Chain A
Amino acid sequence: MSKMRVLHHLVRADFLERVRRYSFLVTLAFAVYLGYCCVTGKVVVRLDEYRGVYNSAWIGCAMTLVATTFLSLIGFYIVKNTIQRDEETRVGRILATTPMTKSFYTVAKMISNFAVLAAMVAVMAGAAVLMQFLKAEDLHVHFWALLSPFVIFALPAVAFTGALAVLFETLPVLRGGVGNVIYFFVWTALIAAPVGSLQGGHVSQATYFTDFTGIVSVMGQMQEDLHRVDPEYKNGAALTIGNTATSKTFLWQGLRGSSALYWSRVTCFLAAFAIALLAALFFHRFDPAREWAWKTSQKSGEKSFASPANGDRVVSLPPAQTPIRLTPLLRTKSANSMPSLVLAELKLMLKGHHWWWYAVAGGLFVASVASPLEATRGGVAVVALLWPALVWSQMGTREARFNTGSLIFSSGHSLARQLPALWIAGVLVAMITNGGLAIRMVIARDWEGLLAWLACSLFVPSLALALGVWSGTSKVFEALYTAWWYLGPANHTPGADFLGTTPYSVRPGLYLMLAGMLLLASFLGRRAQLAYA
């Protein structure tokens, strides 16, 4: 069988396995929703008070900007599970016994990721055609102008995103939740990188080659063209959600292609392949010894004895000669054991972290108490709020992740006891890790700030629990929370700032209400998972 044929079957099987899952329908629904938001004007590209006349050129580029912006971020989280799935299904161990090379595998996974994201791009492209008819400002459809931006910008961008997802999956440190959080900052840096290469506000060749999503390249051309129409234009450009009102329009003739532009997009594709090949260097080829060896090397004294590969022999236990004796158990009222269940959930949440995780958490607590109130509120407490993100992100997902659902859900009063206990444990983590801020608030008698702290302590675990229960994966919370944290507490954006880092961004009432709604959603979600509530 030729290599291309092997590659084709690897990609095809992986793609089919994904698209036949409900989660793919959800991601397609997300793409359709994005398209709908563009068509109905909920998401627009605006240049100060201007937008382009809805002709093929403007719609094609605007929709492409929306697609690349969202898919390069959210798409990463959607596809970053392809190697993990091969591990979980044990298919990987079968593949590992074939002559397939590591680089072949990682490239195949990159292409498969690309195929999934390209399907979403195709949905957005379909929405673009529909949009031109619905907006009806210019009914002459120029297919090249309308669809070429998707090919030129969106496809290389999602290929690059898919490759990064493979790389993150192969790197031990970035494989889990840490990688999910870090990617948000990587993405922010990648989006911001080409801005520095603009020369006097104009797009240069360097801009093309540093702009993997194409956002700055496309918007830069739009801005240049608008300058010619309106010299007073102040160079503002944004992809806006919600606040979409524009008072002026201008006729945009479309993208000006150049060899530098096209080569930059080809380079983006090549970079994706290079990243996939780089990933092969770190890929463990489903060797459980390497997997576990890495984990145990982080923890002194903990050695695996299940895997002979690490040097330990398999433990052979002596036969027990003692007769079977079990003390009969006195049955107790289950309500009495709630505190011990909360404690058990708390222990389960906090177990397995490295010593330095606790050291940093303790350091942040002490720094919160020792720093001036404003420094704590706007700085230390904000960091302390991100630190336990990976603890919260496990809430509601553990049963699916570790396949313990049948053990937990066959226990008595699982909905009435285990879920509340889990939520209380999450709230306790929030209160403890950010307790320094509460102490500072009490000392300063800032009762509104204290209420905001309380709302935050209830809201964040509720968000984690609801997203965990409904999605069954920690990734949704890790991605959404990091972005929300960045927009809200880190940038003090009113409305999004759930901690209330400044007096003008405090919204305790809103977040108390949201916490209640999310808790209810968690309850309903878990109830739906149980055969008998």
Chain B
Amino acid sequence: MKLSIEHVSKQYRGDVWALRDFSIELRPGVLGLLGPNGAGKTTLMSILATITRATQGRVLWNDTDLAQNPDAIRNVLGYLPQDFGVYPNLNAVEFLEYLAAVKGLDAAASRRRIDELLNLVNLNDVRKRPLGGYSGGMKQRIGIAQALLNDPQLLIVDEPTAGLDPEERVRFRNLLSELSGERVIILSTHIVSDVEATATDIALISGGTLVAQATPEGLLQRVEGKVWEGVFPSAELQAIKQQYLVSGTARRADGVHVRMLAPSAPSGTQPLAPTLEDAYLYCLNAHRVGAAA
């Protein structure tokens, strides 16, 4: 099982490039796709989900070119778009039955699968309610259920935890981890903690290009010995922000506790264990500095 993205670029009208020469190869596991707003994550997801075509480059699913045979990927695809709708007059079961039919699933098998999925996403109690009355989080859970309908080998989820309460967010992270064994899962998000909890591999994307690809451990190693914390008076905060890459601040009685990234210890600071958020900010900043140079 292999998904290869080879030199993919996407140009929109007005000479806007959402993706530029993006290449990556994915094997079973969870890829956390991290990047700021407008980085090109959703465009990449849309290309992989066959919703839009790449302007340049190609995508291969088990060596089959998506452009030649899009159904090769569609038949094994589960896709949760960032923004999607539901049919308000249908209830959860009817909506999932409809999508199961559209995906070409056997009626009896899909009925059993729908029961399991509604249990899984905690919507069993409201399965007969029209979707028009669902809250945003409940609609998101219906989206998660439909993405898993066809037991996908390739699961693409775009900002899946948006609108979920903390409890449901934890459930979804656990679900992704359990599903990851024999599937390629792409989790696109800007919430670093979601990736931290589930991803076996991380790709950082910015300005439509791949900034870094590494395991979470590999990414953390890049900022090992570069994270510091110090306590400063409020008046100095602005100057520190201009001098260092600040990843967090907290006002306390003794002053402002500043978490910062620097190659060597700034005066008056102590070393800290890095987090993925530190690594994310460090890599994006290095990329921006490099691009500007």
Q: Chain A residues in contact with chain B, CB under 8 A?
A: 292, 295-296, 302-307, 314-315, 317-320, 322, 324-334, 336-337, 340-341, 343-345, 347-348, 351-352, 398, 402-414, 417-418, 421, 531-532
Contacts and interface: CB of A to CB of B under 8 A. Distances in A.
B138 interface: yes
Interface in B104-130: 104-107, 109-110, 112-113, 116-117, 119-120, 122-123, 125-126, 129-130
B226 to A, nearest CB: 38
Nearest to B170: A319
Given A306-B138, A326-B148, A332 B104 contact: yes
A413 B104 contact: yes
Contacts of A333: 104
A402 B120 contact: no
Interface of B: 46, 49-53, 66-67, 70-71, 74-75, 77, 79, 81, 83-90, 94, 97-99, 101-107, 109-110, 112-113, 116-117, 119-120, 122-123, 125-126, 129-130, 132-136, 138, 146, 148, 150-151, 167, 171, 174-175, 178-179
A337 B104 CA distance: 6
Nearest to B117: A326
A336 B110 CA distance: 14
Contacts of B49: 406, 410
B80 to A, nearest CB: 9
A274 B66 CA distance: 58
Nearest to A347: B94
B178 A324 contact: yes
Contacts of A320: 119-120, 122, 171
A302 B107 contact: no
Contacts of A306: 133-136, 138
A337 B107 CA distance: 8
A412 B75 contact: yes
A410 B46 CA distance: 9
A403 B85 contact: yes
Nearest to B174: A324
Nearest to A303: B133
A331 B77 CA distance: 13
B116 A404 contact: no
A295 B175 CA distance: 35
Contacts of B51: 405-406, 409-410, 531
A324 B126 contact: no
A533 to B, nearest CB: 8
A405 to B, nearest CB: 8
Looking at chain A's contact residues, is the secondary structure mostly helix, strand, loop, or mixed? loop
B41 to A, nearest CB: 15
Given A302-B133, A411-B99, 8 more contacts: A318-B122, A327-B116, A348-B87, A348-B90, A404-B86, A406-B51, A408-B99, A410-B77
Nearest to A417: B104
B99 A305 contact: no
Contacts of A325: 116
Contacts of A322: 119
Contacts of A332: 104-106, 109
The 10 lowest CB-CB distance pairs between A and B, nearest first, are A352-B89, A334-B104, A403-B85, A532-B70, A304-B133, A329-B151, A344-B101, A412-B74, A402-B85, A406-B81
With a 10 A CB-CB cut-off, give which of B75, B130, B150 has the most chain A CB atoms. Answer: B130
A410 B132 CA distance: 23
B74 A411 contact: yes
Contacts of A403: 83-85
A531 B138 CA distance: 30
Nearest to A307: B133
B122 A337 contact: no
Given A337-B107, A412-B71, A532-B50, A344 B113 contact: no
A314 B165 CA distance: 13
A282 B129 CA distance: 28
B106 A330 contact: yes
Contact of B102 (A296, A344, A351, A406): A344
B98 A348 contact: yes
B120 A324 contact: yes
Given A327-B116, A332-B106, A532-B53, A406 B84 contact: yes
A85 B119 CA distance: 36
A341 B133 contact: no
A317 B50 contact: no
B132 A304 contact: yes
B142 to A, nearest CB: 10
A451 B81 CA distance: 46
29 contacts: A295-B132, A302-B130, A302-B133, A305-B129, A306-B133, A306-B138, A314-B135, A315-B135, A326-B113, A326-B120, A326-B148, A327-B112, A329-B110, A329-B150, A334-B104, A337-B104, A341-B104, A406-B46, A406-B83, A407-B99, A407-B146, A410-B49, A411-B104, A412-B71, A412-B103, A413-B74, A418-B102, A531-B50, A532-B50
B50 A410 contact: yes
Contacts of B175: 324
Contact of A340 (B79, B107, B126): B107
Nearest to A324: B178
Contacts of A304: 132-133
A295 B131 CA distance: 13
A59 to B, nearest CB: 40
A319 B169 CA distance: 11
Given A302-B129, A402-B85, A411 B103 contact: yes
Contacts of B66: 532
B132 A292 contact: yes
A328 B106 contact: no
A447 B175 CA distance: 61
B30 to A, nearest CB: 15
Contacts of A352: 88-90
Contacts of B67: 532
Contacts of B133: 292, 296, 302-307
A315 B135 CA distance: 9
A337 B132 contact: no
A266 B90 CA distance: 48
A317 B121 CA distance: 10
A407 B79 contact: yes
Contacts of B71: 412-413
